[in-house]
A and B are shown apart, each in its own frame.
Chain A
Amino acid sequence: MFKKASSRLSLLVLICLLIMMTVACGVEEATEESVEEETVDVVRLEGGQDDGYPSPYAHHRRGPGSYKMNLIFDSMLERDEEGWVPWLAEDYEISEDGLEILFTIRDGVKWQDGEEMTAEDVKFSYEYSLEYPMVRTYVQKDDEIEVELKNDNQVLFIAPEPDAVLAHDLGRIPIIPKHIWKDVDDPENYLEEEAVVGTGPYQLDEYNLEHGTYRFEAFEDFWGPNQSVEAIEFIPVSDDIMAFEQGDIDLTRIGTDLLSRFEEQEGFEVVQNPAFWGYRLRFNMEDNPQLEVTELRQAINYALDLEDVVDRDARGAGVAGNAGIVPPDHVMYNPEVKEYDQDLDKAEELLIKLGYENTTEEGVRYNEAGEELSFDLFVRDDDVRLGEIVEEQLSDLGIGVNVISEERQSHDDRLRNYDYQLIIHGGGGWGGDPDYLRERFMSPAADERGDVEQQSLGYDNSELNQLLAEQRYEVDEERREEMIFEVQEILAEDIPQIPLYYPAEYTAYRADSYDDWMHMFDHHALEHPKLSYLERD
C-alpha cells in the first residue's frame, strides 16, 4: 500500500517536473524573442593581434585592420548584401558621358566630437588623400580627377576619361574631419584621440597594442540606422574553437569536420562564407616553350579532378575552380564557359597529338625531341598538401611534378620575379570588380612589365586584349557585363592559368547572444561589414 503510494507520488513529482521544465523552456524562449528586438550589450570577437590604430592612416593593411577603421569612419557609399548603397551620400549621379559624378551629401551628420559634417569635409578628404595616400588607396593623383563643391551639399568629381568603377572607388574613401586633419602633415604618425573621430556608428573606447585588444562603443548621435550592439570587443584567445565553445567569443571560423558539432547544438548558427579567395595553378609561359602550348595546358586541366581537390584539401569547404577564372559567387560569373571535368582519355588524346607518346621508366611522357613533361611546382609551405594532390593527379597522365615548398617570403619573391615553371598562387580579391581580369591577362605593352605578380607574361591574345581594354571605359553596365562574359569564355578556352578552387570556410556564431550578421556582396567575412552591427529591415 505504502509502496504504491510512493510510486504514485514519484510519478506525480515527475509529471510536475516535466510541466515545470516545459514552462521554463517556454519562458526562456519568450524572453529570448523579446531580447532580439532590443540591443545586445556586447559582442566579443577574436583579437590578440595588433591591427594598427584604427585611423585611415595607421591601421594595418589586411582586412581585420581596415574593417575596424570602417566602424569609426563612414564613406560616401557602403556595401550591403546586394551591392553598393548610398551612405554619407544620399544619392549620386553619373553624367551620360561618364565623365562627371555628382554626390549629394546627407544633412545632419555629426562628427563624433559634436561638430557638423559638411560637403566641405568630403572635398577635403579627397584632396587630403591625394596628398597623403591612405593605407588603402583607390584613387591616385595620376588619375587626374578634379573635385569641386557644387553647393552646400553637393560635390562634383570630373574625370579625364570614362571609368566604369570610378564612382565606387571614390565612394569608398573614408571621410575625415577637416577641422582636425587640416594641420596634420604626418598622418601615419598622428595617433592622437582626435585621429579616430569619424562619423561612423562606433567610436574607439579602448585600444591596447601589446595585447591586441580593441573596444568599440556605439556613438549616440550617429546619423544612420540604430546600432544593434552597444559595444564590440576584440579579445585575445589561445585556441579560437575552445574560446568559442566556452562562450568567450561569439563567432569563429570552423572546418567541415566541426560542422556537426555546432550545427546541431542549440543556440549556434553556422553559415558558409562566399568563395572570394582562390588558389590557382600558374604557368610560366614566357621562359617555357612547352607550357606556351594551349593544348598542353588544356590537357593539364582535363587531368585535374578539382572536386577531389576541394574534398581533400579543404574537406569539401570550397568551390571547384572555374576555367573562366571568375568564381561562381561573383555577380558577373558566366556559367556558360567551357568546362573541364576530369577526363583522362581526352587529356591523353591531346598529349598524343602534341607528340608526347612514349613514357620513361618512371612513367613520364616525352616527345620525339626527347623533351619530358616534367616540371617543378612551387608551393607555399602551408599549401604542401595541395601541391601533393596536384602531383598525384598529374602523374596519372604521365606528367612528372616535383613539389618544392618554400616559406612565404621566398614564395612571394618567386611570384614577383616570375621565377618558376609551375606555381600555386593563393590570394584574395576574386570577388571585386572584374577589372582584375585586365590586370591578370591583358598582355603588357612591349616596354612595360607592370605588376608581374599578377600578370601572365608570355600569354597574348589580341581579341582578349581589346575586350579587356574596352570594358574599362564601358559605363553601360549591361554592355560591360556582356564583355566580361565574353572575356571569361576566351579565358576558359585558352587556360592561361587554372583556378584550382575557391575555399569557402564556415563561420559559426552564437545566435543566442547575437545573430544579426551579414555578408557584403563581395566579401567573405561576417564580422567585417559595419552593417553587421546595425539594425536593418
Chain B
Amino acid sequence: MELHLKIKSAINAFKKFSLSGKLGLILILLILLMAIFAPWLSPHPHQRSSGSALIPPDSEHILGTDDLGIDLWAQITNGARISLLVGFGTALLAAVGGGIMGIVAAYKGGLIDKILMRLIDIMMVMPDLPVMILLAAFFGPSLFNIILVLAIFSWIRPARIVRSQVLMLKEQSYIKSAESYGAKSWYLIRKHFLPEVSPLLAVSIIRLSSRAIVAEAGLSFLGLGDPTSRSWGLIIHHALNFQGIYYTSFWRWWLLYPWLALTILTVSLAFIGRDLERIVDPRLGN
C-alpha cells in the first residue's frame, strides 16, 4: 500500500514537469542506467584496444574506435559514470557544504556572518577557470582532486541562497516561539531550516552538477584530468589533439559522439533545473 502511494506521488511529481522537463528526466534516467550497466552494455573493454585504430562505426564497433583502437561505445558508457560521479559528487559536496555555511552564517550572525560573507565576496571575484587550472595542476591529475577543486568553486551560490532564506525564516514567529521553548541551534537547523531550504538546494544541485560536468570535461580537455581515465572530456581532448582531425573523417565519430553525449546530459539537466525552479518557487512561472 505504501509503495503504491509512493509511486502515485512520484507520478504526480512527474506530471508537474513540462514536456521538456519530462524529456530531460527520461534522458537522465537512461544515462543513469547506461552508467550503472556500463560493463554489460558493451562487448568490448573500455581500457584497452579491441580492434584496429579509428574504425568508423560498424556492426562490430557501433560507434567506431579511437586512435588506440579502443571501442568508443564502451568508453562513452563508462565515461558516463565519471561524468555523473563528478557532476553529482561536486554538486552534493558544494550544496551540502554551502548550505551549512549559509545556515550558520544567517542564524549565528555577527562576526561569523561577516567573515563568511567576505570569504564569499573574495571567491566571487576570483576568476575560477585560471585558479581551477592552477589547483588541478598543483594537486596533480586525479578524479577526486577534480571533484574537490570544482566543489571549492561551487559552494558560493547555494550558500548565498540559503543564507538569505534562513535570514527570512529566523524572523518567523514559529521559530521565535521554538527558541523561547529552549530549542537548540542544531535542533532548529535539523527540524526547521533544512526542510525549508532543501528544495532550493535541490535546484542548486541540478544547476551545479551540469556546470561541474562541463568543467570536468574542460579540465580534462586541457589535460588536467586523470590522463588514463576515459571521461568524455578526455575523449574529446584526445580527438582534438589529433593533427588535422577536421581534414579526416575521424571527427564524425571520435569527436561527435562524446560531444553528443555531453550535450544531451547537460541539456537534460538544464531542462530539469528550470522546471524544478518553477515548481519550488511558483512566483517564477505559471
Residues of A within 8 A of B (CB): 241, 254-255, 257-258, 261, 311-312, 315, 381, 384-385, 387-389, 391-392, 395, 403, 405, 407
Contacts and interface: CB of A to CB of B under 8 A. Distances in A.
Contacts of A403: 227-228
A376 B69 CA distance: 24
B68 A311 contact: no
Interface in B226-272: 227-228, 238, 242-244, 247-248, 250
B119 interface: no
26 contacts: A241-B243, A241-B244, A254-B244, A255-B244, A257-B244, A257-B248, A257-B250, A258-B243, A258-B248, A261-B247, A311-B53, A312-B49, A312-B68, A384-B227, A385-B67, A385-B68, A385-B238, A388-B68, A388-B228, A389-B68, A392-B49, A392-B68, A405-B141, A405-B223, A405-B227, A407-B137
Interface in B131-190: 137, 141
A312 B67 contact: yes
B48 interface: yes
Interface in B100-143: 137, 141
Contacts of B48: 392, 395
Contacts of B49: 312, 392
A301 B244 CA distance: 32
Contacts of B243: 241, 254-255, 258
Interface residues of B, number: 18
Contacts of B53: 311-312, 315
A439 to B, nearest CB: 31
Contacts of A407: 137, 223
**Chain A to chain B: the 9 pairs with minimum beta-carbon distance, closest first:** A405-B227, A384-B227, A255-B243, A257-B248, A241-B244, A392-B48, A381-B223, A403-B228, A258-B244
Count chain B CB atoms within 10 A of each CB in A257, A392, A395, A403 and give the residue with the most. Answer: A257
B217 to A, nearest CB: 17
A385 B70 CA distance: 12
Given A385-B238, A392-B49, A403-B227, A241 B68 contact: no
Contacts of A311: 53
B231 to A, nearest CB: 13
Nearest to A389: B68
A219 B279 CA distance: 79
A255 B242 CA distance: 9
A255 B244 CA distance: 8
Contacts of A387: 228
Interface of A is mostly: helix
A292 to B, nearest CB: 28
Contacts of B69: 312
A178 to B, nearest CB: 46
A387 B69 CA distance: 15
Contacts of A381: 223, 227
Contacts of A254: 243-244
Contacts of A261: 247
A389 B48 CA distance: 9
A496 to B, nearest CB: 27
Given A258-B243, A403-B228, 18 more contacts: A241-B244, A254-B243, A257-B244, A258-B244, A258-B248, A312-B53, A312-B69, A315-B53, A384-B227, A385-B68, A385-B238, A388-B68, A391-B228, A395-B48, A405-B141, A405-B223, A405-B228, A407-B137
A241 B238 CA distance: 19
A387 B227 CA distance: 10
A392 B50 CA distance: 11
B90 to A, nearest CB: 23
A312 B66 CA distance: 10
Contacts of A312: 49, 53, 67-69
Contacts of A388: 68, 228
Contacts of B137: 407
A384 B68 contact: no
B153 to A, nearest CB: 22
A459 B277 CA distance: 67
Contacts of A257: 244, 247-248, 250
B72 to A, nearest CB: 15
B65 to A, nearest CB: 11
A163 B223 CA distance: 46
Interface in B170-222: none
Contacts of B247: 241, 257-258, 261
A505 to B, nearest CB: 9
A261 B247 CA distance: 9
Count chain A CB atoms within 10 A of each CB in B137, B227, B250 and give the residue with the most. Answer: B227
B9 to A, nearest CB: 46
A392 B141 CA distance: 20
Nearest to B141: A405
A403 B228 CA distance: 7
Contacts of B67: 312, 315, 385
A260 to B, nearest CB: 10
B51 to A, nearest CB: 11
Count chain B CB atoms within 10 A of each CB in A391, A395, A405 and give the residue with the most. Answer: A405
Contacts of B242: 255
Interface string B35-79: 000000000000011000100000000000001110000000000
